[in-house]
Amino acid sequence: MRKGLTIGEFATVSHLSVRTLRRYHEAGLLEPATVDPHTSYRYYRPDQIATAQVIHRLRELDVPLAEVKALLATDDPQERAGLISGHLRRLEAELDRTRAAVGSLRRLLQPEAAALEVQLRSVPARTVAAIRDRVRREDALVWFDGAMTELDAAFPPAGRDGPPGGQYANELFTEGAGAMTVFRPVRHPSARGRIEVVELPPVELAVTVHPGSHDDIDVTYGRLGSWVVAQALGVDGPVHETYLVGPRDTADAGQWRTELGWPVFRLGGDPRPGETRS
Amino acid sequence: MRKGLTIGEFATVSHLSVRTLRRYHEAGLLEPATVDPHTSYRYYRPDQIATAQVIHRLRELDVPLAEVKALLATDDPQERAGLISGHLRRLEAELDRTRAAVGSLRRLLQPEAAALEVQLRSVPARTVAAIRDRVRREDALVWFDGAMTELDAAFPPAGRDGPPGGQYANELFTEGAGAMTVFRPVRHPSARGRIEVVELPPVELAVTVHPGSHDDIDVTYGRLGSWVVAQALGVDGPVHETYLVGPRDTADAGQWRTELGWPVFRLGGDPRPGETRS
DNA sequence: CTCGACCCTCCCGCCGGGGGAGGGTCGAGA
DNA sequence: TCTCGACCCTCCCCCGGCGGGAGGGTCGAG
């Protein structure tokens, strides 16, 4: 008497490997219909092929096994569709990143552009309206958009006092996450929602302007850092960005102008007492 | 006296993590300018930032470290461009697979289509012109195109005797690679180039027709397999495909018709002596 | 000299499997 | 009923490209 399809037969008809089926069993993703308690042989029913197909497709889309499991666990087709379209959005975002990297790589391999114009600037303390948070790198762009939109809504053009900016801890780039601050200088700062009134401390900056899309902004950061080192200065503290012309001003990324500032200190000198060099 | 940037400083200006830099050193990808022989401290020169940027971009494109190394090792910009565009082609191919999987998943989640029409058929032996090879799954589509093009070129329409077909070992799907055969029935078979004259043995097939694009062809395979099992038959041997209407007939994938045949045998019966059940 | 921040090496974990060892089970044929 | 080869089982190690953390050495400013 046959108890069902053996794992090998099931592998053949489902186009999955035996190993993979065992792993899906172990992960609770696709339990065999019966498991012989004596021999531990796995036996599958033909109607489980359909489930195997769905898993196969989801895995082709790199949906993690845990997510596949969650997806299969719910019967609510609405929730299912939500999970799937969520993943498709992530795929889209990744595709955008890939496109950006391709473009940036192309530009990177061109013969070097004009020399970087850098100046040292002492920025006095300023009081601004700001939103701060610890953010993971993959969430950075979404968080930025949300925060900047909130700032823009809270302070209409008449109340603004210069272009918006941001400060980003270096760990945000070198590690997986870090503190982000976006701010707007405004005539009458006031807290509401996530917005706080923040006094930005005075700082000595090495400043340059990055033209165009932000896709290769870290190339300019690298060149700026290289300049700083060549001046026998040390870099220190979060990077400063000022959006002279940004996505909120024109959709043409070629027109954007972003001022990049890196806090510096004289080597062998005083790294601004009261702050640690991060 | 400073010997250069410490790894932490270099991490900050290059936007790579300290761990990652150590790994790139270990992999021979980005050697520090000097390594203190006593303390093993790594020191970098500012001009290495540019290399770090390139590596960063390539890694964003999932170029394997080994390939990045090869890329950096050559100065020939031509060869460089070749390696890069090769990788970009691979990214494109992957994107196509993703698109196919998305579409197929969508169709898979629709309420079940019409019942599958399956028939059992005894196929007599045939002598055909064929190309055979052991192929890895990721190369399957390219190999297929090449082989079919060669067959088409060798036997113009007047000499043909029915639609082309293929036979594919099940390991091709369940494992990483397997034997592939594409063939054409022709009036006067003859060997030339990769083409051999092959006698296909007679076989008992469970046959159905898969309409439309090949993106979800394995769903139909699953349903066919399910039917076979329900008839108390076993599946055996390589799958057979006949391209009744295929890409060489019309560009509209919706019109394609592919006959799928799975060799079957009666359970408890004789699995065709002389062959092992794969 | 001290002390904290930095650096070193080494080992383990993650994911989604593949490779292979070593041993038990199944079922068709004689 | 026995045999024998194909199949199945579990267990452990490997891959790539990092991250986490232990345990210990080094640097440099006060």
Q: What is the pLDDT of residue A234?
A: 82
The CA distance from A176 to A169, in Å, is: 11
Q: DSSP string covering B132-181, please?
A: EEEEEGGGHHHHHHHHHHHHHHHS-GGGB-S--EEEE-THHHHSSEEEEE
Is residue A211's pLDDT more than 50?
Answer: yes
Q: Residue A17 pLDDT > 50, yes or no?
A: yes
Q: Per-residue pLDDT averaged across B169-182, rounded?
A: 91
The pLDDT score that the predictor gives to residue A241 is 97
Percent of chain B with pLDDT over 90: 65
B23 touches strand D (CB under 7 A): yes
Per-residue pLDDT averaged across B221-247, rounded?
89
Mean pLDDT for chain B overall: 89
Asked if the Cβ–Cβ distance from B53 to A219 is below 8 Å, we say yes
Q: Return the closest nucleotide (C1') to the Cα of A42.
A: D8
Residues in chain A: 278
What residue has token string 């390219």?
Answer: B142
**What are the tens digits of pLDDT across the range A32-75?**
999 999 999 999 999 999 999 999 999 999 999 999 999 998 88
Q: Residues B270-278: what's their mean pLDDT? A: 35
Point out the nucleotide closest to B40 (alpha carbon to C1′): C8
| A245: closest CA of chain B, how far (Å) | 24
State residue A77's pLDDT score: 81
Q: Which of A2, A101, A221 sits opposite B15 (nearest CB)?
A: A221
CB-based contact (8 Å) between A13 and chain B? yes
Mutate to test the interface with B, among A62, A79, A226 (most CBs of B within 10 A): A226
Query: Residues 80-109, chain A: which have Cβ within 8 Å of B?
Result: 80-81, 84, 88, 91, 95, 97-98, 101-102, 104-105, 108-109
Band of pLDDT at residue A108, cut at 50, 70 and 90: confident
B268 Rama class: left (phi>0) / alpha (psi -120 to 50) / beta: left
Q: With pLDDT > 70 as the criterion, what percentage of chain B qualifies?
A: 94
Extract the runs of DSSP E, i.e. beta strands, from chain B: 5-6, 34-35, 42-44, 119-123, 126-136, 165-168, 177-184, 196-200, 203-211, 233-235, 239-245, 257-266
pLDDT in tens, B132-146: 999 998 889 999 999
User: How many whole angstroms separate alpha carbon A262 and alpha carbon A206?
Assistant: 5
User: B253 to chain A nearest CA, in Å?
Assistant: 20
pLDDT per position as a tens digit, B179-233: 999 999 999 999 999 999 999 998 999 999 999 999 989 889 989 988 888 887 8
CATH 1.10.1060.10 for domain B119-266, yes or no, is no
Binning pLDDT at 50, 70 and 90, where does residue A199 land?
Answer: very high
Distance from CA of B214 to the nearest CA of A (A): 14
Chosen from A229, A235, A265 to mutate, greatest number of chain B CBs within 10 A: A229
Q: What is the mean pLDDT of chain A?
A: 89
The reply to whether residue B61 touches residue A102, judged by beta carbons under 8 angstroms, is: yes
- Contact assessment for residue A140 and residue A166, using Cβ atoms and an 8 Å cutoff: no
CA-CA distance, B249 to B243, in Å (whole number)? 9
Identify the weakest region by mean pLDDT among A131-135, B158-162, B231-235, B247-251.
B231-235
Give the residue-averaged pLDDT of B259-269: 79
Q: Can you read off the two tokens belonging to residue A152? A: 């823009």
The whole-angstrom distance between B191's CA and the closest CA on chain A is 33
C-alpha to C-alpha distance for A60 and A18, rounded to whole angstroms: 17
| Residue B270: pLDDT band with limits 50, 70, 90 | very low
Q: Do residues A34 and A4 make contact, with C-beta atoms less than 8 angstroms apart?
A: yes
Residues ≥6 apart with Cβ < 8 Å to B87 = B61, B63, B67
User: How far, in Å, CA of A275 to CA of A202, rounded?
Assistant: 12
Kindly state the average pLDDT of the residues A16-33.
95
Residues in chain B: 278
List, in order, residues 6 or more apart from A90 with CB less than 8 Å away. Answer: none
* Position A271 pLDDT exceeds 80: no
Partners of residue A225 in chain B, C-beta under 8 Å: 12-14, 46, 49
> Which residue in A175, A15, A233, A136 sits closest to B175, CA to CA?
A15
* Chain B hits for A170, Cβ within 8 Å: 12
- For the record, the structure tokens of B202 come out as 């007679």
Are residues A104 and B57, on separate chains, in Cβ contact within 8 Å? yes
What is the pLDDT confidence band of residue A267, given thresholds at 50, 70 and 90?
A: low
Backbone φ and ψ for A237, nearest 5 degrees, come out as 75, 180
pLDDT of residue A157: 94
Least confident of A1-5, A123-127, B177-181, B227-231: A1-5
pLDDT score of A276: 36
How confident is residue A269, by pLDDT bands cut at 50, 70 and 90?
A: very low
Average pLDDT over residues A129-152: 93
**Alpha carbon of B61 to those of A94, A138, A212, A215, B185: distances in Å?**
10, 16, 21, 13, 44
C-alpha gyration radius of chain B: 27
Show me where the domains of chain A are located.
Answer: 5-73, 119-266
Contact A182, A148 (CB under 8 A): yes
Cα angle B11, B12, B15 (rounded to 5 degrees) comes to 75
CA dist A142 to A138, A148, B84, Å?
8, 10, 30
In this prediction, residue A2 has a pLDDT band, given cuts at 50, 70 and 90, of low
Q: Which of B176, B145, B169, B186 is nearest to B240 (CA)?
A: B169
Rg (C-alpha) for chain A, rounded Å, is: 27
Q: Which nucleotide is nearest to A175 (CA to C1')?
A: D19
Tell me: pLDDT of B255 over 60.
yes
Which one of A14, A15, A107 makes the best mutation probe of the B interface by having the most chain B beta carbons within 10 Å?
Answer: A15
* Interchain CB distance below 8 Å, B102 and A61: yes
Q: How many C-alpha atoms does B96 have within 13 Å on its Cβ side?
A: 10
Closest nucleotide to B278's CA, by C1' atom?
D6
Q: Do the Cβ atoms of B226 and A60 come within 8 Å?
A: no
CB atoms within 10 A of CB A211: 14
Size of interface A-B (CB pairs under 8 A): 134
Q: What is the pLDDT of residue B265?
A: 81
B109 SS3 class = helix
Best mutation target, B6, B174, B233, to test chain A (most A CBs within 10 A) = B174
Nucleic strand D near CB of residue A7 (< 7 Å)? yes
- CA terminus-to-terminus distance, chain A: 70
Inform me whether the C-beta atom of residue B264 falls under 8 Å from chain A C-beta atoms: no
Q: What pLDDT was estimated at residue A107?
A: 86
Whether B9 and chain A come into contact, CB under 8 Å, resolves to yes
Domains B5-73 and B119-266 share a fold: no
Inter-chain residue contact B218 with A80, CB threshold 8 Å: no
> A155-183 pLDDT, tens per residue?
999 999 999 999 999 999 998 888 999 99
Give yes or no for residue A129 having a pLDDT over 80: yes
Mean pLDDT, rounded, for B263-274 = 56
CB contact under 8 A, A15 and B221: yes
- Inform me whether the C-beta atom of residue B33 falls under 8 Å from chain A C-beta atoms: no
CATH class of A5-73: mainly alpha
* Protein CA A23 to sugar C1' C22 (Å): 20
| Residue B2, pLDDT score | 67
- Cβ of A61 within 8 Å of Cβ of B222? The answer is no
Cβ distance of A15 and B46 shorter than 8 Å: no
